[in-house]
A and B are shown apart, each in its own frame.
Chain A
């Protein structure tokens, strides 16, 4: 049962072959048996899930089902879930039970989906390997097949690993600098980061507000399309949410790709890319040519500045976003504060992990007196240059393709000593966030038994075209169906 996609499970529920309660029990059993080795979940909500499954079965019996009614899935632990603790991977929120739902959570609830629990993540979504979680690292299921502890990628490593290990058919995720695409690539699953503003950020704990975007992860492009059909849309509670009609993303999955113009950014095939990775990506692009697409080289001349701009803008926004964690109204509070200053400095020193503190300090520095122009303002200007590169490229092509990560999943601990080495993991994904564009990661083969992801970047609000391109690729390849064994 756990081999099936969301689309397949939805049809089986509809036909009455299985009930949501059966399905939910099955996945809960697997989760409890298997997740010890991956650590992909922070919280499993067995009771709530079964209650939701029973309600879903009743709703289906009453003829009021949606495609999601009764489907088990999971939320990244960055989305606030009313009555269920929401940790954001941090000691700061280890016992935080929000009395409200994120808009994304409310939407899945309304659709009747069954949430099995909350997936592991880098603390406050700051990381590229899921090793900064207060609840321990997530282990990549593909590495384990070779007896190795490899990273699942981050920050949405829990969602990616859980899907790869068939513990859930789908999970929500978020992407600030590559946090959906990179773990999806490293775990061999499909992930989409929509256009900035497409999915509400309300109740999604902020890391860097102008870059954060909620999105979807599943095994197939079709399933992520089904997820976006639920998640996308205007939210009056989010000022940066875009009031624009949401298409049915499944309706265009089968459009032919003949004539699709693909651009390959020269800068994404530089020497930072391993030769094997370059080969896998070019092979994937060749499949598209077989499907009738045309390919040309394009240039994103400022791409090399993306990491630098990101590591000013994201920490700067984070330094303010994380000021609310002060031990006063909720969350961690240090023992016996002797005065107000002690309450603040000790609560935050003890409640935040190393990487989070590093980014808060860098962000504070970049905004502080005398440095604002050289760092923050400069980074915002470079951000526009980077966006302009994409605007120019999309004058000539429909989508851009390239790698997601420089190399496949690395061994845990390999890059934790040097933050900058870790930051360079996101060299191919970060520019998309700065520009606010939609992008996907699609399984595109293996290197030494470890999965590789193809990145497809689209123009603003062209999620439908991306999903179409990914779905057609998945009709002629089976990388996305391979299971770590």
Chain B
């Protein structure tokens, strides 16, 4: 199976990973080979088969509504790339 340059560029944008032109041929080949591998799925007869999201057929447990966390801003922001006045800084957000 093959994957086009346009597909790779679209997917790379969705995934927010910069891909340089020089990387495209190798990605076309590798991703194409992987898609060929996973393409084997198409042959499987899965009529009337329920998709399986979890290994165990378990049900979600719910937590009581209690505040259990306290302020740890200092510890968390000590490992942040850029902060000011308690805020995380990023290049200007334009809506």
Contact = CB atoms under 8 A, between A and B. Distances in A.
Query: Direct contact between A and B in the complex (CB less than 8 angstroms)?
Result: yes
Interface of A: 96-99, 195-197, 210-211, 236, 239-240, 242-243, 302, 304-305, 307-309, 311-312, 319, 323, 326-331, 333, 337-346, 348-349, 352, 357-358, 360-362, 364-366, 368, 374-375, 377-385, 387, 418-420, 423, 434-437, 460
Residue from the set B50, B61, B72, B93 with the largest chain A CB neighbour count within 10 Å: B61
B81 A327 contact: yes
Residue from the set B11, B27, B60, B63 with the largest chain A CB neighbour count within 10 Å: B11
B22 interface: no
Contacts of A196: 54-56
Contacts of A374: 42
Contacts, number: 176
Given A99-B75, A329-B76, A381-B52, A420 B90 contact: no
B1 to A, nearest CB: 11
A365 B31 contact: yes
B86 to A, nearest CB: 13
B5 to A, nearest CB: 13
Given A239-B61, A384-B50, A418-B33, A96 B79 contact: yes
Nearest to A346: B18
Residue from the set B11, B15, B18, B60 with the largest chain A CB neighbour count within 10 Å: B15
A236 B17 contact: no
Interface residues of B, number: 54
A383 to B, nearest CB: 4
Interface in B69-89: 72, 75-76, 78-82, 88
Residue from the set B27, B34, B92 with the largest chain A CB neighbour count within 10 Å: B34
Given A305-B41, A311-B38, 4 more contacts: A329-B88, A339-B92, A365-B11, A418-B33
Residue from the set B35, B56, B80 with the largest chain A CB neighbour count within 10 Å: B56
Given A99-B76, A358-B31, A344 B41 contact: no
Contacts of A420: 33-34, 36-37
